[in-house]
Structure 1
Amino acid sequence: MSIRILLAMLCGCVPLQAVNATPIGSVKYADLASINGMPALCLPKSETAPFAVGWATLYDSYAKDVDAWQVVLKEQAAPVVLKPGECFAYGTVPEGYMLEKGTAGKKPLQLEVGKTYAFRLNSASRSVDAYFVVFCITSEGEGRFVKYPPLSSGEAVPSCDGRNGNRISR
């Protein structure tokens, strides 16, 4: 498992709050969209600054035997810079990025109905800064990605259990 996937998973295990800031970095809760039928993490429109993407990770929040999907900025490449309201979609590998190879013995990630996923973008300039969203896939078609709202301190990431969320489409 790559160190970046491990860091993303460990950092993703903190309680989901709208902003989790520390002196060394911040994790902000992002918006979620559907772009060409795939989940996309979006910077909230209320943000004031652009965000340079260092790497993106999407993983099943409960599976232990499944690899994460991860794209990483190549050395010396210019990062994708998202402006407030812009999105980074799962399954795309932008120019200047590479798809991280899977871990031996693990199945490749495949999005499935009834599963809960976490999607995270880490900064190219400060790897401790990130945007994060947790969502569930409820059915096929538009509006199938249900974003979980930020959770209160100490509340665990829910499984895909029919809990009320915000249906999104784009």
Structure 2
Amino acid sequence: MTSRVVASARSWLGTPYQHQASVRGHGADCLGLLRGVWRELFGAEPETIPPYRPDWAEVGGAETLLQAARRWLTEIPVEAARAGDVLLFRMEPGAPAKHCAILSAGAVSDQGEPRMIHAYWGRAVVESWMGGWWRRRLVAAFAWPAHSTDGEAG
């Protein structure tokens, strides 16, 4: 499953950043990337995403993204995250988790250079180094469900 997740996420590289979008090659935000990978690996999305503003976390203050991840993914210890796992970040201390990515190489616990794929605000879906800035904001990690639509076990 790990290689399929990373391959699917890499197929989104270069997709322009577009708030609330989830169409490979046309537009995606960070959640849209995860939604697209979900559709490719598991089929229909498990729930409808309501419209949200770019400042949804700052305005609402609820852990909406973290709660949704806990409903549909399997939470794992952050230090156990490996390539293919989903990462959630708090952009400010005490703020709700607002950004998500897929770990694409290495492990969070590596002293080397783990990499992640995410939709970068104002740019595109990119694969970038997960340096200290991102590591300090990492709040949760998740594994995908055990089975894909073609029956491949995780």
TM-score for both structures, normalised by structure 2: 0.29
Bigger radius of gyration among the two: 1
